[in-house]
Amino acid sequence: MFSTTRRHFLRQLIGLPLLGGVLAPIVLKGGRETAGERLLMVNGWVVLESDLDP
Amino acid sequence: MTIRNLDTIGDDPFSGNEYDVCICGTGPAGMTVALKLADSHRVCLLEAGDLEFTKRSQSLYEGVVSGEDYADLDTIRFRQFGGSSVAWGGTCRPLDARDFEKRPLVKYSGWPIRREDLDPYLAEARDILNANHGEREHCSHPAPDWLPPMDGYEEMSYWESYPRVNVGVKYRAFVENHKNIDCFLNANVTDIRLDDGLRSVTHFEVTGYDDRKFLVRARQFVVAAGGIENPRILLNANRQIPSGIGNENDLVGRFFAEHPHHQLGEFILEDEPKKRLDEELNKPRKPIELTGRFFRPDDQKMRDERLLNHSLEFEPVTTPARTGGDGLFKRTLRTMLCASETIREAAEAVKDGAITCEQNVDGYVTISSEQEPNHESRVRLADERDRFGLRKADLHWRHSALDRRTVREAAYYAASKLALSHTGRMRLERWLREEEVHLPGPHANTASIVYGPHHMCSTRMSDSPETGVVDPDCRVFSCDNLYIAGSSVFSTAGFANPTLTIVQLALRLADHLKTRLA
């Protein structure tokens, strides 16, 4: 889990505050460990969909 | 019984001499063969350069790059006593047993020997390379670990040469003082002379920098000049056989392989794994302990997902910047600026330190991958000639679709594994996100390093002259007494750094030559 500070850092890294994010779902195998969590690619970062929740 | 400089020798030092073995090259391969044979046989050891770097020698390694983007050929190998070990990285690992096996997926895969044939030489090779510290073949990390279990991958490790070996330094006194070794510096092998039947070598022609030519006579001959120079020497020896020696089937120089070696991206960790990593990094470490964690695919993953062999490294950032360094404002500003890929790439291109986009992450993921044996990937002769009139090397390196696919799949595996296991998040390099992945070269604007430099398979070993240049004893198929030493004889490249295998093969070759000379 990310703490609030680290989560903020992640969101800065992937560019959400500046760019609003360019979302492009990527086709990846997986979901086995965390069923139901979707992987997205945002500015090159492979993140969980929940990372983008406000 | 000494090291002599051909520049300063007046008379013909080879006149009236017949050596048991004449070796061209003093790098890890040639030096090892000389070390092992000297106690029982007379050895002539030829080095094209001097004891130290000289421009006139090194410039003979200039060549042409016509295939994939690659570094200038005189910048990634060394023509001096000790060969390229003068700038060796020191990482050692034997090839995997499966690297020697035939795989249905990979045409031309399989060696005519097995790993068991090289295992008896492993301990001695590690001694020669100072890689006999840390008996850590398999890694184990106490739970809780900062990385998740990598299903489909096995963790593994490397041995480090420590102190890092330059064979020219380590064995100089041995060569200087051994009564059975005559070593000549600035002695360029410019031709290989055959007998009238074109089946045996009678002489190496040696040319000095003053253009004097000499003939060295021996019973057995070894070419050990590196993975680009070995085929170049054979192809340029075309006075008696126009296509070059050993090249009856147009295979000399073909199947050239490197280790595509790329930074795939960077990662940050979630809080708990980051805490565990910090704890691990704060433990005292020996100089030979690597901080990176290395994984290779298991047999089933390689088979099921149709991948080549490769090594994935998760390398933590260990500099102080990882935990801060700058003030909060500067750090935040940099993070936000660097979120723009355009700014990131500009910063990487400038590299003047004005903007550094690499400091806030927890680590990087890199790959070193096997290449598929590729008939079209080759060292050939350029039209341009060197000062001795020999045609320069033209490196026509190629990547295959399977090479590219292996790198891409490994990168996406690493990124998705980190996220789905709630370990961290990884940013993939831009070139990995293109619809059709092209592996970037050294002149591309990426953070990647792109090669070993490891030059392999260009005079490959095979059980048939239809598919290789040397037989399982490293003897050129069409020549009774000409042998090749070095990674140019690899049948396939694996992913492991090649020097340890080079030395194992050289020790095995020395044993074979002892039998031949008995």
Domains, chain B, ranges and CATH? Answer: 3-129+166-258+375-398+456-517 (3.50.50.60), 153-160+260-372+400-433 (no CATH)
| pLDDT above 90 (res B127) | yes
State the pLDDT at residue B441: 87
pLDDT band at A40 (very low <50, low <70, confident <90, very high): confident
What's residue B373's pLDDT? 98
Chain B residues whose CB is inside 8 A of the A19 CB are 339-340
Cβ atoms of B245 and B234 within 8 Å: the answer is yes
pLDDT digits 0-9 by tens, B48-63: 999 999 999 999 999 9
Q: Indicate whether B68 pLDDT > 70.
A: yes
| The predicted structure's pLDDT at residue A21 | 46
The Cα–Cα gap between B57 and B80 comes to 7
**What's B165's DSSP letter?**
P
Tokens found for residue B236: 């340029």
Q: Which residues of B touch A45 (CB under 8 A)?
A: 425-428
Smallest Cα distance from B264 to chain A, Å? 11
Interface of B with A in 385-424 (CB under 8 A): 412-413, 415-422
B347 pLDDT band (50/70/90 cuts)?
low
Which token pair is B420? Answer: 């789905």
B425–A46 C-beta distance less than 8 A: yes
Contact map slice: B 319-338 vs A, CB within 8 A: 332, 335-336, 338
Q: What is the mean pLDDT of residues B160-166?
A: 91
Q: How confident is the model at residue B339 (pLDDT cuts 50, 70, 90)?
A: low
CB–CB contact B427 A32 (8 Å): no
| CA distance linking residue B262 with residue B311, whole number of Å | 11
**pLDDT bucket at B286, cuts 50 / 70 / 90:** low
- Across B396-402, average pLDDT: 97
Residue B246, CA atoms < 13 Å, CB-side half-sphere: 38
ipTM of the complex as predicted: 0.84
User: Rounded CA gap, B230 and B235, in Å?
Assistant: 9
- Look over chain B and give the mean of its residue pLDDT values, rounded to a whole number: 91
Residues composing chain B:
518
CA-to-CA dists, residue B416 to A31, A51, B55, B232, B364, angstroms:
9, 14, 48, 44, 15
Closest CA to B292 of B368, B388, B178, B185: B368
Angle at B416 between CA B413 and CA B420, to 5 degrees: 135
Instruction: Give the position of tokens 């390099």.
Output: B429
Q: What does each C-alpha distance from B397 to B112, B178, B394, B423 come to in angstroms?
A: 24, 40, 9, 38
- Chain A nearest-CA distance from B334, in A, is 10
Taking residues B192-218, what's their average pLDDT? 97
Q: Do B425 and A43 touch (CB under 8 A)?
A: no
Closest residue in chain A to residue B264, using alpha carbons only = A44
Phi and psi at residue B482, to the nearest 5°: -120, 125
pLDDT the model gives residue B46: 98
- Tell me the domain boundaries of chain A: 4-52
Report the chain B residue with the minimal C-alpha distance to residue A37: B420
Which tokens belong to B516?
């031949």
Residue B188, helix vs strand vs coil: strand
A contact set with B (CB within 8 A)? 1-3, 6, 9-10, 12-15, 17-19, 26, 28-34, 37, 39, 41, 43-48, 51
In a mutational test of the B interface, the residue from A4, A8, A10, A33 whose CB has the highest number of chain B CBs within 10 Å is: A33
Say if residues B501 and B115 touch (Cβ distance below 8 Å): no
> Which two tokens mark B277?
């990593």
Residue reference for tokens 């690297």: B99
- Helices and strands in chain B: count of H runs, count of E runs: 13, 19
